[in-house]
Structure 1
Amino acid sequence: MSRSADRPGPAGPLRGVRVIELAGLGPAPFGAMLLADLGADVIRVDRPEGRAAGNPLDHRHDLLARGRRSVALDLKRPAARDAVLRLVDGADVLIEGFRPGVTERLGLGPDVCLERNPRLVYGRMTGWGQHGPLASRAGHDINYIALAGGLDPIGHRNGPPVIPLNLVGDFGGGGMLLAFGVVAALLRARETGKGQVVDASIVDGTALLTTILHGLRAQGSWVDRRESNLLDGGAHFYAVYECADGKYLSVGAIEPQFYHRLLDLLGLADDPEFLAGHTDRAHWPKLRKRLADVFISRPRQYWLDLLGGTDTCVAPVLSIGEAVQHPHNRARGTFVDVAGIVQPAPAPRFSEDQPTAPQPPPRPGEHGRAILAEIGLTEEEIERALATGDRGASG
């Protein structure tokens, strides 16, 4: 893996790693953001029109694009394609999130890129994967997690599954696993001098996230019915409860010491039903109703004052805005203000190479001329590479 301390990029453990990102939507930009957050120099190849189709955000609020430099290129033009290949020559990683075969048709597929740069890690992010009966089909997060078994277990027993935003598929099973695979392949390339293709599929990644459920199912501790299991809200001691003011409290008192402390503070320590109900599933539905009646009797702050400072595994269910203001998150700097927009800080934390706060998302094409000059293109070549029917922003 080629590394250079002279390459641009913020501080972090990936400083010196150069990534070429062919701009897309959702999971691939999230994976690239993770690499940029940790110090990689990520060059985003944007579309000349500025935004990928389907992106509802203007560039100032497209936080998944933070920390990048951007060049806007029409990849259907030979001069633009050649410019990308010149970028590939000096890169460690290329990331793309198109349907299978798209980059091959553009002349930017893995065979072409790896022939030019044998050390390159070529990261591919798709929903269904690079092969299989559904590989060429359109789809979105909800479809991928449905097929992987990640949607059905979430929700109430007598209702439909509840959509977990796009956190489980696009980001957890998609972009996060893409970034992990890219870093693993980078380590291998540094050892062997040989790059490879990383085939990251949201279906595969979501299935991986359900590994513990398969283990529970194999030993007979999981049934395929919502709100019937330890971690799906079936257990009264692992559930969300509404309080008198309409706010919610999360309770996760799984271990016996936490469960008994919870019962003690709620005045239920000597209740035989609750004592038996920690291990006997037959009691769970009734005890869930009893606890619901307890928590609905007082506002959330009452319960936080009673339980919040104890080992009862209780925490408030906060909105996005409330989470930003919580004292614990403020103390750790979990959220940062970047150019007036509050957003999650880079994670995880490092003792030696702590990443700096990310830079705002770039205007598409903002750094185009500088990037192309940096790889040795002449002014004439830069003009040809940036040319489009509607030139747009070119830096």
Structure 2
Amino acid sequence: MTSGPLTGCRVIELAGIGPGPFAGMTLADLGAEVIRIDRPGGGTVFPGCPEDDILNRGKKSVLLDLKAPEAVAITLDLVAKADILIEGFRPGVAERLGLGPDACFARNERLVYGRMTGWGQTGPRASESGHDLNYIALTGALHAIGEAGGPPQIPLNLVGDFGGGGTYLVIGVLAALLEARLGGRGQVVDAAIVDGTAHLLAGTHAMLATGTWVDERGVNLLDGGAPFYRVYETKDGRHMSVGAIEAKFYAELLDKLGLNEDPAAQHDRAGWPALRERIAQTFAARTLVEWTAVFEGSDACVAPVLSLAEAKDDPHLAARGTVVETDGRLQPAPAPRFSRTANRLGTPPPSPGQDTRQVLTDWGISDVDGLLERGAAVQQPSPNLEATP
């Protein structure tokens, strides 16, 4: 079990995909008790076993048939004892299940009800399907990412699902939880990926407003247009990242590269194309390992581009335990870190329904055996338990 700052906080997560589970994982990493309500036949869009889904680490799984009124009643009984509920359905679906905000607030007026969607609860697109790529496309974020003259490049689903989505859901429910504990009443948190992604663009909008950003790809300070903020290929086909924005860091970059350039001309955009080519030719003359050694301990703001698997063994990340391998799974450690209430990796991801009996019993639900016999609740064996002889 974790012992983070949210120890004692109870969270109900209605099973979904992507940003909702990421938010639940983050709350569990912070010490909350997160109960994931799975449904028979439910699953994930990703291949593999549920026990491999790191987004569900630290949680317990209860398998309920929410088509049965008795199962909905069980869920509301759990809600009555929870601090937070999160769901990622399209607008109106939770209401049709009988688990919308009104039904939940009737049982627990202090509940924080977090809703995770792409388009939001209101607006012309609210009921439409979509995925991360569509949401960041509409906000302008996707338009801004890529090489000059080329198409937009997909930044995984970091900017939308996990950045503008799940992270903002966590921010929202924790802020609402604080307010509920002060004022005695909960509220609905409408976390939309389009809203969160647009909010992440605040700094870009600031530069656009001041005329220091052009609304085009690959020609600006932070999008690869500047030769001192870019990725360069090495002799062995690997890449080094360069982020020498400040003048003193840029001067050190030139020194380490052995380039006789005028540091005062750093922001002369007319000279950027030629300078990019000279820097590229320089990096192409040595391997990634060689360049990593050249820049080790310097303030030139240069770092090697590592793969997901390589990140675990980077000396700095290894010293901090930032990426770990647990139970055969490579995964990020909980973040951020706290001085007193240290968080740590929780239990492995559960299979759907492996904790049904335990959770219902621990949370004071009556007639658990009867609920299991009638099929409103389902207990599944845990794949994480070793077989006994």
SS at match of 1:183: helix
Q: Is 1:216 aligned to residue 207 of structure 2?
A: yes
Pairwise CA distance, 1:384: 6.0
- Give the TM-score of the pair, scaled to structure 1: 0.93
Are 2:34 and 1:45 aligned?
Answer: no
Which residue of 255, 272, 275 corresponds with 1:264?
255
Given candidates 194, 200, 223, the residue that maps to 2:191 is 200
**Gaps in structure 1 of 5+ consecutive residues:** 1-8
Structure 1 runs, 4 residues or longer, greater than 6 Å off: none
Superposed, 1:337-352 pairs within 5 Å as 337-352=325-340
Q: How does 1:169-318 map to 2 (within 5 A)?
A: 169-268=160-259, 270-272=260-262, 275-318=263-306
**3-state SS, counterpart of residue 230 of structure 2:** strand
Match of 1:156 in 2: 147
Distance 1:86 1:385, change over 3 A: farther
Is residue 20 of structure 1 aligned with residue 12 of structure 2?
yes
Distance 2:300 2:93 in 1: 52
Please give the alpha-carbon distance, in whole angstroms, between the structure 2 residues aligned to 1:384 and 1:122.
Answer: 31
Q: Which SS does the other structure have where 2:115 is aligned?
A: strand
Change (3 A) 1:91 1:394: farther
Give the SS at the match of 1:155: coil
Q: Output the CA distance in 2 between the equivalents of 1:314 and 1:137.
A: 43
Please give the alpha-carbon distance, in whole angstroms, between the structure 1 residues aligned to 2:354 and 2:227.
53
**Cα 1:295–1:120 shift into 2, 3 Å:** same
1:129-148 Cα shifts (integer Å, max 9, x gaps) = 00000000000000000001
- Looking at structure 2, the residues matched to 171 and 376 of structure 1 have their Cα atoms a distance apart, in angstroms, of 34
Residue of structure 2 in register with 1:6 after alignment: none
Q: How does 1:63-102 map to 2 (within 5 A)?
A: 63-102=54-93
Q: How many residues align?
A: 381
For 1:29-44, what aligned pairs fall within 5 Å after superposition? 29-44=21-36
Distance (Å, rounded) in 2 between the aligned partners of 1:145 and 1:325? 32
Q: CA deviation at 1:380?
A: 4.8
In the aligned structure 2, how far is the partner of 1:381 from the partner of 1:195? Answer: 33
What is aligned with 2:352? 364
Deviates further, 375-384 or 135-144: 375-384
Of 297-306 and 379-388, more deviation after overlay is shown by 379-388
What is the identity, as a one-letter code, of the residue corresponding to 1:393? Q
Which shifted more, 152-161 or 331-340?
331-340
CA distance 1:385–1:339, change in 2 (3 Å): farther
Of the structure 1 ranges 116-125 and 367-376, higher mean CA displacement relative to structure 2 is found in: 367-376
TM-score between both structures, scaled by the size of structure 2: 0.95
- Report if the CA contact (8 A) 2:66-2:97 is conserved: yes
Say which SS state the counterpart of residue 302 (structure 1) adopts: helix
Maintained 8 Å contact 1:338/1:359: no
Residue of structure 2 equivalent to 1:377: 366
Instruction: Determine if the alignment matches structure 1 residue 355 to structure 2 residue 347.
Output: no
Shift of 1:336: 2.4
Note the residue ranges of structure 2 that are not aligned, 5 or more in a row.
383-389
The alignment partner of 1:328 has SS state of helix
DSSP-derived class of the 1:42 partner: strand
Residue identity in the other structure for 1:31:
A
What is the CA-CA distance between 1:155 and the residue it aligns to? 0.8
Shift of residue 341, structure 1, vs aligned partner: 1.4
> Structure 1: how far apart are the matches of 2:379 and 2:4?
33
SS state of the match for residue 325, structure 1? coil
**CA deviations over 1:104-123 (Å, ceiling 9, x no partner):** 00000001101210000000
CA deviation map 1:315-374 (0-9, x unaligned): 000000111111111100112232221211101110000112221001110110111122
Match of 2:387 in 1: none
CA deviation after TM superposition for structure 1 residue 30, in Å? 0.2
How far 1:72 moved relative to its partner?
0.5
**What is the percent sequence identity of the aligned residues?**
57
Select 1:393's aligned residue among 380, 384, 389. Answer: 380
In the alignment, the residues of structure 2 paired with residue 22 and residue 271 of structure 1 have an alpha-carbon distance, to the nearest angstrom, of: 58
CA distance in 1, matches of 2:33, 2:374: 21
Which moves more between the two structures, 310-319 or 292-301? 292-301
Distance (Å, rounded) in 2 between the aligned partners of 1:246 and 1:267: 21
Residue 213 of structure 1 and its aligned partner are, at CA, apart by 0.5
Q: Counterpart in 2 of 1:4?
A: none
Q: Deviations over 1:180-215 (max 9, x none)?
A: 111111110110111000000000000011110100
Q: Displacement of 1:285 after TM fit?
A: 1.6
Structure 1 counterpart SS, 2:35: strand
